[in-house]
Amino acid sequence: MVEMKRDDFEQLVSLALDEIPRELTRQMRNVVILVEDEAPQGGPELLGLYVGTPLTERGEWWAAGSLPDRILIFRNPILRMCANEQQVAQEVRVTVRHEVAHHFGISDARLHELGWG
């Protein structure tokens, strides 16, 4: 397990978001990106999770009073699976891209086809 301060990990998440093309980030609507220490109990050990309604499924009904979607990046599972800080940075980049892709309606199957599984 890699030891890393929460602030340093959050900085990696911020850098990963900065790497996403601006034409995509401009289209992201009503979504927040949060760092959580652990994934929800009782399920698989997730590295990230998208909770919300993908842009491709939103209709006119969606905007009225909808809470923001959430992209959750799970710090400790990523730190546990990596051997060094470079691996952590790479895994954060992959996880952030993966969850942002879900916000755009891209499925896990398609992400695996594209090499972003």
The contacts of residue 56 (CB under 8 Å, 6+ apart) are: 104, 105
104: in domain: yes
Domain range enclosing 55: 6-113
28: in domain: yes
52: in domain: yes
pLDDT tens digits, one per residue of 70-106: 999 999 999 999 999 999 999 999 999 999 999 999 8
| Domains held by the chain: number | 1
CA atoms of 5 and 19, how far apart (whole Å):
22
- Check pLDDT > 70 for residue 60: no
On average, the pLDDT of the chain sits at 90
CATH of the domain at 63: 3.30.2010.20
1: in domain: no
pLDDT tens digits, one per residue of 2-43: 999 999 999 999 999 999 999 988 988 789 999 999 999 887
